[in-house]
Amino acid sequence: MKFNRILLKLSGEALMGDQQYGIDPQRLNDYALEIEKAYQSGIQIAIVIGGGNIFRGLKGASQGLDRVQGDYMGMLATVINSMAIQGAIEKLGIATKLLGGLEIDPIAERMSSKRAISYMEDGKIVIISGGTGNPYFTTDTASALRAIEIKADVILKGTRVDGVYDKDPEKFQDAVKYQKLSFTEAYEKRLAIMDLTSFTLCQENHLPIYVFNMNRKDELLKVVQGKPMGTIIAD
């Protein structure tokens, strides 16, 4: 399955590399190089990245912070990560635009579907920060919402494993990998792919989710070229 326009979802924790928190410059550069290869293949790319390497709203709430305040702090963490990946990509000579659920002048323009699509059609990589702009929603939900808004062919969820398994492959050697799943199968098997709100959004809007290993060299390129690398969840 080949794609023309993708939304790439990355976790904030992935940017930590081997660190305890923050952004590992080497991991950031590696991701930018992988994104560059996919971009050079001719596809349109939007990126949503989480903020868990810096701050997580739910964790803040569990430690006594107001949930709404904590969620906004988490959104700002995604802005920091988005700026980091933007800088790494632009160092490679690729034009980008940073949009956001939160408008932060002069850093991020307000997200709109027309604006994002126009920038991608002009050959820019669009990075969408700030979650949905509302508390009580995760970046999983934000990625589903943004993918639908920009009419993406698929959400590519980059993880540190090469697909979806029946149990944690990092803990169980006999874990079995799925090549393809329906949304119903994934729900019935209680597979933790994305949170329920985002998962339902994808199912209702017939938007496939493709889970693959972002840390493996050339994996993203192979996925966008239509090679069967990870696990696809689709109707």
Q: Which residue has the higher pLDDT, 199 or 192?
A: 199
Structural domain containing residue 158: 5-233
* pLDDT above 80 (res 72): yes
* pLDDT above 80 (res 201): yes
C-beta separation of 48 from 142 below 8 A: yes
The pLDDT tens digits of the residues spanning 149-163 come to 999 999 999 988 899
pTM of the model as a whole: 0.93
Domain harbouring 159, CATH code: 3.40.1160.10
The pLDDT tens digits of the residues spanning 88-113 come to 999 999 999 999 999 899 999 999 99
Provide the pLDDT confidence category of residue 144 given band limits of 50, 70 and 90. Answer: very high
Task: Work out how many domains the chain is built from and give that number.
Answer: 1
